[in-house]
Structure 1
Amino acid sequence: MSQPHIVIIGGGFAGLYTALRLLQFPWETSQRPDITLIDRQDHFVFSPLLYELITEEMQPWEVAPTYTELLRHGPVKFVQTQVQTVDPEQKTVVCGDRQITYDYLVIAAGGTTKFVDLPGIKEYALPFKTLNDALHLKEKLRALETSAAEKIRIAIVGGGYSGVELACKLADRSGDRGRLRIIDRGDEILKNAPKFNQLAAKEALEARGIWVDYATEVTEVTADSLSLRYKGEVDTIPADLVLWTGGTAIAPWVKDLALPHADNGKLDVNAQLQIQNHPNIFALGDVAQAEDNLPMTAQVAIQQADVCAWNLRGLITNKPLLPFKFFNLGEMLTLGENNATLSGLGLELEGNLAHVARRLVYLYRLPTWEHQVQVGLNWLVQPLAKLLAR
């Protein structure tokens, strides 16, 4: 009898952490599964720390370790390829000419940047979701910083978590040359955030001179300008950089799968995170829709990964499955260099203390203990290295 084969599509928080959790179980030899992780990139991205790349507080290897590094001690096969579809009848994942068979499947493909169909958006607005996005932004910033331009004019579309965190980091990097503004369609930034975090964010934006355009919509982006509609009037302003943080879209191949979908295009899952009528297929993270509308955050994905891994083990070993219940541990925001806010579990912190707490929480959440040690040592050595370099 062959070993059960678990295929995981997507190496983000949901997919990678499911694979790592599966490795921790005390399997009997006959039941230990073969695990294949599929992703089109060769690296994982710890997205909450991606902002630190802008200010060079962290390096790419810390934020985006390769799967080869993370999985080198575990029996997980990594395949770098683009998934095209899944055939649930044949139990295969189709990747071009290649087909990968499975006994159990986890679809955790994540999402892509959601662009709207407006002139110039896709051509000139920069997303900020991947390592390549962050590195591309840094290249653009270096070009502007070495130019003769007196001011660096940056517009961030979207007043949610990503937009606010980006704005603060960019303001700290650009200094006196920076002219930043956030454009949001609503009447409030961080509308769903705890009040404490919202107020701290507003203070951080005001302290950095970041302007917020409320009730404003983008109508067009060009190579050096941005057109905005406010109360029916359209105004065009100069912009050296436009960053787009307007939500997450589901990959077209996920929407086209011959599996039950919710009205929003996500895969319809039950309380155990199994796709309806397909008990051997799980969906997690941004592509999954349960009865509760959960935020698309790393916190949710990591908790789902734990339950998914447990339930995969339950199916293989004929043990009861667990329902997923999200436990909100709170929220953290980075608000520039050495500044953050933290709200949750009865705690409310801001400033440098919150910055340190956020770093320690995320250090603990890094995917493997080896990577935690490497990053932690680097954080300890960095201040000394900077002192000696003076």
Structure 2
Amino acid sequence: MKSIQKPIVIVGAGFAGMTVALNLKNLNPSLPILVVDSESKFIFKPLMYEVLSKEIRIWEATPKFANIFSDAGITFLKNCLTKISFKENILEFSDELKLSYQYLVICTGSIPNSFFIKGVEENCYFFNDFHDLNKLKSFLTKSQKTSSHKKLFIVGGGPSGIELACKIQDIFTDQFQISLIEKSNEILSRNKIFNREQAEIALEKRKINILLNSTVKEVSKTEISISSEDGITSLDKDIVIWTAGVKPNLSYLETDYITKKYGRILVNNNLQIENHNNCFALGDISIISGMEELPITAQVAMQEGKHLAKNLALLIQGKDPLPFEFQDNGEMISLGIGEASISGLGVTLSGKLAFEARRLIYASKLPDINESIKSASSWIFQKKSIFKKFF
């Protein structure tokens, strides 16, 4: 393999960045790879719901970057990117540090999108990372000590909103009167039909109110204003959880590189940024030309990361990169404590067995192999009776 003079710098250590770094190091152990992230721990977002319900422990979903990368021979730096100078191949960070690179991979993920709706930032809870989780958990726990049937609204009928609604209802039983607000005419509008049907059953069983064709106009300290076919209605609320969408985390980038239509970085099918063949964008912040309908999911980010690792290895050898192709491996959704729904590759499964399968699949995908083994072992030990029953 050929060597390079400057490091490959990967900014953002989520699913995309993590996958690129670890796969590339496996392909060429001699490559100098630097990973930069503003956090010190990986956030395994699909398992945040189980941390909230205490079905798993927090360490199972938050391995430390230092452990992950040092074991792989990769350098990790905790810092925040503030500017990219593409012509000079230089990165600038919040502490005035400057780094040069030979190849750059940016995959800084997403942040909640409030859509400039009045009061959302100030008066809503979010569920995008473990800071949000701890803040929400603290409020919900304190609420147990006061009157029951508090009015809780979840905005967004996608997977995050559905999973939260079912978990909270199962954890706190009758403590909250939960309403789910969705702007379209059905929940999980972009998801598999089987999972949508199972989610509808789960919500109905838990007596969670669903408000379809409804949009939020404003959130105050005491009320939420909702627009629907019946006009605008103001309802009393105790808490609003915002899961209505995300936007790319691109505060460090000039707007010239961001598409007006999608608000993300346009890349070609080799995942390269236009006019900068040594720079790549992956995951939530990018959109591939000709593949605009790809969902913003961990599955897509990981497949992009694995493919880019192969392309970088080819480029370093002086070979042409290969076009990215997405393979839909299906989707999984948690539907309350101990229950889930899985749909993909011709298989549909729901209920308790689906939850156990989902848990084991995610355990196997944890980025730090040591943590993955511990997590899977912990799960198997707790659930061995399940295997005796079904296998």
Find the counterpart in structure 1 of residue 317 from structure 2: 317
Find the counterpart in structure 2 of residue 53 from structure 1: 51
**Distance change (3 Å), C-alpha of 1:119 and 1:167:** same
- CA RMSD after TM alignment: 1.7
Q: What SS does the corresponding residue of 2:76 show, helix, strand or coil?
A: strand
Distance 1:307 1:190 in 2: 28
- Within the alignment, does 1:239 sit opposite 2:241 as a pair? no
**What displacement does 1:382 show?**
4.7
Counterpart residue type for residue 308 of structure 2: C
Counterpart residue type for residue 70 of structure 2: R
Deviations 1:226-245 (A, max 9, x none): 22222252222222210101
**What displacement does 1:320 show?**
3.3
Find the counterpart in structure 2 of residue 120 from structure 1: 119
Distance 1:381 1:69 in 2: 24
Find the counterpart in structure 1 of residue 128 from structure 2: 129
Could you state the TM-score of these two structures normalised by the residue count of structure 2? 0.93
Equivalent residues of 1:70, 1:371 under 8 A apart: no
The worse-fitting range, judged by mean Cα deviation, of 247-256 and 167-176 is: 247-256
Q: What SS does the corresponding residue of 2:278 show, helix, strand or coil?
A: strand
Find the counterpart in structure 2 of residue 10 from structure 1: 12
Mark the runs of 5 or more structure 1 residues left unpaired by the alignment: 385-390
Find the counterpart in structure 2 of residue 388 from structure 1: none
Distance 2:240 2:263 in 1: 28
Equivalent residues of 1:255, 1:266 under 8 A apart: no
Deviations 1:114-138 (A, max 9, x none): 0122221110111111111111110
Where in structure 1 do 4 or more consecutive aligned residues deviate above 6 Å? none
Distance 2:230 2:204 in 1: 27
**What displacement does 1:251 show?**
2.6
Equivalent residues of 1:152, 1:174 under 8 A apart: no
Deviations 1:43-93 (A, max 9, x none): 111111111122111222111111012122122111111111110111111
Equivalent residues of 2:250, 2:285 under 8 A apart: no
Distance 1:240 1:261 in 2: 38
- Within the alignment, does 1:288 sit opposite 2:286 as a pair? yes
**Distance change (3 Å), C-alpha of 1:220 and 1:260:** closer
Equivalent residues of 1:333, 1:341 under 8 A apart: yes
Equivalent residues of 2:68, 2:368 under 8 A apart: yes
Matches within 5 A, 1:39-188: 39-96=37-94, 97-147=96-146, 149-188=147-186
Counterpart residue type for residue 243 of structure 1: I
Could you state the TM-score of these two structures normalised by the residue count of structure 1? 0.93
**What displacement does 1:150 show?**
2.3
Find the counterpart in structure 2 of residue 202 from structure 1: 200
Aligned residue among 26, 44, 55 for 1:24:
26
Counterpart residue type for residue 44 of structure 1: F
Distance 1:52 1:217 in 2: 28
Find the counterpart in structure 1 of residue 347 from structure 2: 347
Find the counterpart in structure 2 of residue 370 from structure 1: 370
Aligned residue among 247, 270, 273 for 1:249:
247
Equivalent residues of 2:364, 2:376 under 8 A apart: no
Deviations 1:90-121 (A, max 9, x none): 11111031111100000101111101222211
**What displacement does 1:25 show?**
1.3
**Distance change (3 Å), C-alpha of 1:317 and 1:156:** same
**What displacement does 1:26 show?**
4.4
Aligned pair count reads 379
**What displacement does 1:2 show?**
6.2
Distance 2:135 2:379 in 1: 24
**Distance change (3 Å), C-alpha of 1:284 and 1:8:** same
Find the counterpart in structure 1 of residue 209 from structure 2: 211
Mark the runs of 5 or more structure 2 residues left unpaired by the alignment: 385-391
Find the counterpart in structure 2 of residue 301 from structure 1: 301
**What displacement does 1:252 show?**
4.2
Distance 1:218 1:278 in 2: 40
The worse-fitting range, judged by mean Cα deviation, of 234-243 and 151-160 is: 234-243
